[in-house]
């Protein structure tokens, strides 16, 4: 059905989405090979949830897992659960599971801290690779936090580096690298842009970065869990990502940090006991653990991390290629229906599924009013300044009829 | 009863604890003004839990609060709960509650990150106060992680600073400050030592630090929630503390950061969107929030933080002076019984309650074997290398008969 969806999307895009019906969308759901996954989520009745790109929905099994962690492991097991329930191994174990989602090798991913702190760590590592290089390069439309972290790290290190902002896209990046590549320490970009949903060609951009002797740092927050990633094949150096968006790890879930094995000798800035080779020796001397564990700092947030692990376990049951096909089909259908039925809304997301993440952004001068009216009708998306409406299509639980119904609501509202 | 307990403890210490009986301890519980609080905790049957200094026990209300956060706020409310359930205000709100426990002003404490990351932030701020001063001073027996964080921060900043270790205690610190005070940027100590339980005189030490023009940074991890603190009266500059020990916030609960108002202009090293003046503008320019909020970085770990907030709410119902009296009485009783009944165990914790936290450490050459045997008998404490047994007495849920029964088990084991 996935490819069927794509073909139909092509038809919708250029012809009459008006001839489609809710029944034809229901038929797509009926044929959806991912159909069973929706029942895995605890979605409130009467709600069409198109904001899984901001906060993923709650899987039933994650709710059950949290009860077990709280009641049994914390309440009954108490301190013994560090060993008996293997809390101590959770950051690496969950990291290895996320590694399977993003095409990393085992031992290259660890779950820890927030995305901001992980980015601070990853950038600190990246700047050690060639201390003579002074430039941190980023897309000027990168997620703002990523730019804040880079600027504050540069200030913290005494302003010996400089943040250089370039226009979006591979071509602009390559042009910059062609002129100033030898000065570049690291190129730091978000793989899928948080507003436009435009996706970088990770292989092409990483290769261009490597050609000038720099390292590549990718923020996977708006991609992982919605589309296939292959960090190993792209030879990515560093990456970070968020646990609470498509990974469904729950509000404020911990983030993850990927460091390619070849960089596991680098020193991290926030050495805490969890990154020590023998944390329970309580030695006065810091001796960094080998491998990815050395990038841990403080005690892992067990309850939040258990939610993330459980939700990732669920996602690992779904074939990623099917998820991608469905995600493209859902977005294609949404774009086609919006263009046919709401011509005054401008679609700012790429039409081509191959260069798009799993959300769609529309421009409307009163975006906040429109979104409030949609939410009042049970359709939940979000707004991004100054004038964008954003709708995320998490393929595990969003249905084709949700797309249909959301556009019907949008037609009423605008 | 608290003072009665202290008086009796004096008798025990110098006379015959052997003449006490389990019944006399049960009578102390019966008269305990904090008695009702034990029923607030979900303690497993058959267990005497003396490790609340490592991981606090689960309050019933925290279990219920977590269900509401997961089922209702995440599951049903989804992204709307950032506003509807005021998730967005949780770091500051919970910080203000902890402020009441530690004698800080409202708006001086925020809950965020781990203790290690908060220490990294606090030290980074402290080093900005007078950039000409090069020394970071700490007790050589400080909690190892605190020393690791200081060393890694110093390395990260290009080794322009130096970590100077001094012997434990106010006198050694004052002697050091007398000779090298003008070089000292910050003195960073843990208020209650994690092994000996010796407590610094915070007022005296902070005053000595201020006299030489340096700033004081206290780690409250082994004090807050077990004894009264008054950061305002002591004029403390910076502090951090752990959420999962006496505060009962659950495994890996987030930590808290205290910055005195007079330092709220300082720049933090990990600027993320939650520290922005208007995070939801997603502006490309970082503009730090005013007040303590500027020291936030990434998205708060809502589920873990909700547990901490709920547990702190419970603690705020208990009179801190009663908690302190009972904590001293429990430790006094434990020490007296151990010295009377297990003379081969060396007590390394101060006998004087006034300079002691809420745990007691004993020396035994086979401490791990002893603790394993105790745990097999349902008495849970922990070990610290090389040869220490550690027992924590959380006054909200540990009873006098628990002290009696724990020593009986210890007698059998050693």
Pairing state of beta strands B135-139 and B184-190?
parallel
pLDDT at B8 over 70: no
- Spell out which residues of chain A touch residue B143, defining contact as CB-CB under 8 Å: 282
The mean of the pLDDT values for chain B is 95
Which structural domain range is residue A273 located in? 86-315
Which pLDDT value is given to residue B386? Answer: 87
Q: Report, as an integer, the average pLDDT of A46-56.
A: 97
Q: Give per-residue pLDDT as tens, A175-194.
A: 999 999 999 999 999 999 99
* Test the A interface: residue of B48, B74, B219 with most A CBs within 10 Å: B74
Kindly determine whether residue A269 and residue B385, on different chains, have CB atoms separated by under 8 Å: no
Residues above pLDDT 70, as percent of chain A? 96
Does residue B189 share a domain with residue B279? yes
Which pLDDT value is given to residue A260? Answer: 98
Does residue A98 share a domain with residue A218? yes
Does residue A340 share a domain with residue A373? yes
- Spell out which residues of chain A touch residue B42, defining contact as CB-CB under 8 Å: 71, 75
Which pLDDT value is given to residue A15? Answer: 52
* Test the A interface: residue of B271, B379, B388 with most A CBs within 10 Å: B271
**Looking at residue A109, which CATH number applies to its domain?**
3.40.640.10
Q: Report, as an integer, the average pLDDT of A120-134.
A: 98
Kindly determine whether residue A251 and residue B116, on different chains, have CB atoms separated by under 8 Å: no
Query: Any CB–CB contact under 8 A between A149 and chain B?
Result: yes
Which pLDDT value is given to residue B14? Answer: 44
pLDDT at B197 over 80: yes
Contacting A residues, span 383-402, partner chain B, CB-CB under 8 Å: 384-385
Which pLDDT value is given to residue B1? Answer: 32
Does residue A398 share a domain with residue A290? no
Which pLDDT value is given to residue A89? Answer: 97
Does residue A348 share a domain with residue A216? no
The verdict on residue A67 lying in a domain is no
Contacting A residues, span 3-32, partner chain B, CB-CB under 8 Å: none
Does residue B273 share a domain with residue B133? yes
Picking from B258, B285, B315, the residue at the C-terminal end of a domain is: B315
Q: How many CB atoms lie within 10 A of CB A354?
A: 8
The verdict on residue B370 lying in a domain is yes
**Catalytic amino acids of B?**
143, 219, 244-245, 390
The verdict on residue A262 lying in a domain is yes
Q: How many CB atoms lie within 10 A of CB A110?
A: 29
The verdict on residue B78 lying in a domain is no
Which pLDDT value is given to residue A159? Answer: 94
Which pLDDT value is given to residue A66? Answer: 98
The verdict on residue A384 lying in a domain is yes
Does residue A228 share a domain with residue A121? yes
Picking from B300, B315, B330, the residue at the C-terminal end of a domain is: B315
The whole-angstrom distance between A19's CA and the closest CA on chain B is 34
Query: Any CB–CB contact under 8 A between B115 and chain A?
Result: yes
Kindly determine whether residue A145 and residue B80, on different chains, have CB atoms separated by under 8 Å: no
Q: Report, as an integer, the average pLDDT of B352-360.
A: 97
Q: Give per-residue pLDDT as tens, B242-284.
A: 999 999 999 999 999 999 999 999 999 999 999 999 998 888 8
Q: Which of A8, A356, A390, A399 is catalytic?
A: A390
Active site residue A390: yes
Q: Report, as an integer, the average pLDDT of A3-26.
A: 64
Kindly determine whether residue B116 and residue A273, on different chains, have CB atoms separated by under 8 Å: yes
Q: Give per-residue pLDDT as tens, B15-68.
A: 546 678 999 999 999 999 999 999 999 999 999 999 999 999 999 999 999 999
pLDDT at A1 over 50: no
Does residue A134 share a domain with residue A261? yes
Which pLDDT value is given to residue A154? Answer: 97
In this predicted model, which residue has the larger pLDDT, A300 or A16? A300
Query: Any CB–CB contact under 8 A between A70 and chain B?
Result: yes
Q: Report, as an integer, the average pLDDT of B105-123.
A: 98
Which pLDDT value is given to residue A17? Answer: 63
Kindly determine whether residue A252 and residue B303, on different chains, have CB atoms separated by under 8 Å: yes
Query: Any CB–CB contact under 8 A between A80 and chain B?
Result: yes
| DSSP sequence for B316-385 | TTS-HHHHHHHHHHHHHHHHHHHHHH-TTSEE-S-S-GGGB-SEEEEE-TTHHHHHHHHHHTTEE-EEET
Which pLDDT value is given to residue B120? Answer: 98
Q: Tally the domains of chain A.
A: 2
Kindly determine whether residue B148 and residue A114, on different chains, have CB atoms separated by under 8 Å: no
Q: Which of A245, A294, A326, A356 is catalytic?
A: A245
Q: Give per-residue pLDDT as tens, B56-96.
A: 999 999 999 999 999 999 999 999 999 999 999 999 999 99
Which pLDDT value is given to residue B265? Answer: 97
The verdict on residue A6 lying in a domain is yes
Which pLDDT value is given to residue B13? Answer: 53
Q: What are the beta bridge partners of residue B259?
A: B238
CA distance B299 to A251: 8
| Nearest residue to B250 via CA among A77, A364, A104, A56 | A77
* Test the A interface: residue of B50, B64, B79 with most A CBs within 10 Å: B79
Does residue B308 share a domain with residue B184? yes
What's the gap between Cα B362 and its chain centre? 20
Asked if B191 contacts B168 with a C-beta cutoff of 8 angstroms, the reply is no
Query: Any CB–CB contact under 8 A between B144 and chain A?
Result: yes
Query: Any CB–CB contact under 8 A between B273 and chain A?
Result: yes
Q: Give per-residue pLDDT as tens, A212-267.
A: 999 999 999 999 999 999 999 999 999 999 999 999 999 999 999 999 999 999 99
The verdict on residue A65 lying in a domain is no
pLDDT at B122 over 80: yes
- Spell out which residues of chain B touch residue A151, defining contact as CB-CB under 8 Å: 271, 286
Asked if A115 contacts B300 with a C-beta cutoff of 8 angstroms, the reply is no
Does residue A136 share a domain with residue A159? yes
- Spell out which residues of chain A touch residue B81, defining contact as CB-CB under 8 Å: 251
Kindly determine whether residue B67 and residue A71, on different chains, have CB atoms separated by under 8 Å: no
Q: Cα separations (Å) of B334 from A37, B8, B302, B392, B411?
A: 55, 12, 38, 10, 12
pLDDT at A13 over 60: no
Over the Cα atoms of chain A, what is R_g? 22
Query: Any CB–CB contact under 8 A between A78 and chain B?
Result: yes
Q: Report, as an integer, the average pLDDT of A140-167.
A: 97
In the numeric block, which tokens belong to residue A248?
């469904």
Closest-approach residue (CA) in chain B for A51? B79
Query: Any CB–CB contact under 8 A between B84 and chain A?
Result: no
Kindly determine whether residue B144 and residue A66, on different chains, have CB atoms separated by under 8 Å: no
Q: Cα separations (Å) of B409 from A38, A375, B17, B366, B414?
A: 53, 61, 16, 16, 9
- Spell out which residues of chain B touch residue A144, defining contact as CB-CB under 8 Å: 273, 276, 282-284, 286
Inter-residue long-range contacts of A81-88, CB under 8 Å, 24+ positions, other chains counted? A81/B251, A82/B55, A82/B251, A87/A300, A87/A302, A87/B251, A87/B252
Query: Any CB–CB contact under 8 A between A115 and chain B?
Result: yes
* Test the B interface: residue of A248, A252, A276 with most B CBs within 10 Å: A252
Q: Cα separations (Å) of A64 from A41, A61, A294, B306?
A: 12, 5, 31, 18
In this predicted model, which residue has the larger pLDDT, B368 or B3? B368
* Test the A interface: residue of B45, B252, B391 with most A CBs within 10 Å: B252
Does residue A232 share a domain with residue A138? yes
Q: Which of A120, A244, A391, A400 is catalytic?
A: A244
Which pLDDT value is given to residue A20? Answer: 87
The whole-angstrom distance between B258's CA and the closest CA on chain A is 18
Q: Give per-residue pLDDT as tens, A379-406.
A: 999 998 889 999 999 999 999 999 999 9
The verdict on residue A77 lying in a domain is no
Which pLDDT value is given to residue B15? Answer: 52
pLDDT at B203 over 70: yes
Q: Report, as an integer, the average pLDDT of B289-296.
A: 97
Residues above pLDDT 90, as percent of chain A? 93
Active site residue A143: yes
| Residue B3 pLDDT class (50, 70, 90 cuts) | very low
| Residue A18 pLDDT class (50, 70, 90 cuts) | low
The whole-angstrom distance between A221's CA and the closest CA on chain B is 13
- Spell out which residues of chain B touch residue A305, defining contact as CB-CB under 8 Å: 252
Does residue A398 share a domain with residue A346? yes
**Looking at residue B13, which CATH number applies to its domain?**
3.90.1150.10
Q: Cα separations (Å) of A55 from A39, A161, B200?
A: 18, 34, 44
pLDDT at B196 over 50: yes
Which pLDDT value is given to residue A14? Answer: 44
Asked if B277 contacts B89 with a C-beta cutoff of 8 angstroms, the reply is no
Which pLDDT value is given to residue A361? Answer: 98
Query: Any CB–CB contact under 8 A between A128 and chain B?
Result: no
Q: Give per-residue pLDDT as tens, B139-173.
A: 999 999 999 999 999 999 999 999 999 999 999 99
CA distance A181 to A135: 9
Picking from A277, A300, A315, the residue at the C-terminal end of a domain is: A315
pLDDT at A128 over 70: yes
pLDDT at B11 over 80: no
The mean of the pLDDT values for chain A is 95
């Amino acid at each position: 059905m996935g490819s069927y969806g794509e073909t139909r999307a092509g038809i919708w895009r250029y012809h009459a989405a008006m001839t489609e019906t809710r029944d034809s969308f229901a038929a797509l759901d009926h044929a959806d090979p991912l159909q069973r996954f929706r029942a895995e989520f605890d979605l409130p009745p009467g709600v069409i949830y198109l904001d899984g790109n901001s906060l993923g929905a709650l899987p039933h099994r994650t709710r059950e897992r949290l009860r077990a962690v709280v009641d049994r492991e914390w309440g009954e097991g108490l301190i013994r659960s560090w060993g008996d329930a293997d809390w101590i191994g959770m950051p690496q174990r969950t990291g290895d599971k996320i590694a399977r989602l993003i095409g990393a090798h085992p031992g290259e991913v660890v779950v820890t801290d927030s995305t901001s702190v992980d980015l601070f760590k990853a950038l600190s590592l990246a700047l050690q690779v060639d201390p003579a290089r002074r430039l941190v390069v980023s897309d000027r439309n990168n997620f703002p936090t990523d730019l804040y972290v880079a600027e504050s790290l540069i200030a913290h290190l005494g302003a010996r580096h400089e943040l250089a902002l370039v226009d979006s896209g591979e071509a602009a990046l390559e042009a910059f690298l062609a002129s100033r590549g030898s000065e570049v320490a690291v190129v730091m970009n978000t793989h899928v842009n948080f507003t436009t949903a435009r996706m970088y060609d990770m292989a092409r951009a990483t290769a261009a970065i490597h050609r000038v002797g720099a390292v590549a740092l990718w923020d996977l927050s708006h991609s992982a869990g919605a589309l296939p990633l292959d960090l190993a094949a792209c030879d990515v150096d560093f990456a970070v990502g968020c646990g609470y968006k498509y990974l469904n790890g729950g509000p404020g879930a911990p983030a993850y940090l990927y460091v390619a094995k070849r960089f596991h000798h680098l020193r991290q800035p926030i050495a805490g006991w969890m990154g020590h080779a023998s944390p329970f020796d309580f030695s006065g001397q810091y001796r960094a653990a080998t491998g990815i564990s050395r990038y841990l700092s403080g005690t892992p947030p067990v309850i939040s991390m258990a939610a993330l692990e459980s939700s990732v376990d669920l996602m690992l049951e779904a074939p990623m290629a099917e998820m991608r096909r469905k995600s493209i089909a859902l977005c294609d259908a949404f774009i086609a229906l919006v263009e046919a039925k709401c011509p005054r809304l401008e679609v700012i997301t790429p039409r081509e599924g191959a260069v798009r993440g799993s959300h769609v952004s529309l421009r409307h001068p009163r975006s906040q009013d429109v979104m409030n009216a949609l939410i009042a009708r049970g359709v939940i998306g979000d707004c991004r300044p100054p004038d964008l409406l954003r709708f995320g299509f998490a393929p595990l639980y969003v249905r084709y009829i949700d797309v249909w119904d959301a556009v019907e609501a949008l037609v009423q509202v605008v």
